[in-house]
Amino acid sequence: MDRAYYRGIPAVTKAFEAILSLIAFILIMVAPSCVKTSITAGYFKFVTITAFILVCIVWLLFLCKLQRRIFRCTCINWPFLMFAFYGIICVFYFFGDLILAVQACNGVEKASVAFGFLALFAFLFDFGFSVRDYIMARRGLNKAIRETTNVAEGKY
């Protein structure tokens, strides 16, 4: 178990994302059915439970260092994968929250939307970290390629 990761900001952010997604999912599940939000609520349920499950998987991968043990090949670009993951989740959450907020019939659905927006803000916060990590990885990769090319060409 990676204790440095456990105490870091990314792990705490993932925990908040999971908790807020789970609360939003529970609230939309217990909300009384409303005819005009049935399709929208279904999409929102899908987004919240999918985000919850995927964030828990990612959290466990990084907490137990499984991304280093299982995926030893360098073919997986983790910074890009996390960048794409959080970007997609943010877009899905944004549209789910926005559409359900417009069509919400009762207070429970509105509370679910509120927790959905809080989860969206947590995902956006983590998306900012993933953008930073991706840019740093790209710079490091470009630097490593330049150094390798210079060594191969005899330039030091």
Domain extents for the chain?
Answer: 3-153
Mean pLDDT, the chain, rounded, equals: 82
Pick from 47, 51, 34, 40: nearest CA to 108: 34
Condensed to tens digits (0 to 9), the pLDDT of residues 57-104 reads: 988 888 877 766 666 666 677 788 888 999 999 999 999 999 988 887
Q: What percent of the chain has pLDDT over 90?
A: 38
Q: CA-to-CA distance for 61 and 123, rounded, in angstroms?
A: 18
Q: Please give the model's pTM, rounded to 2 decimal places.
A: 0.81
Q: What percent of the chain has pLDDT over 70?
A: 77
Residue with the larger pLDDT of the pair 89 and 7: 89
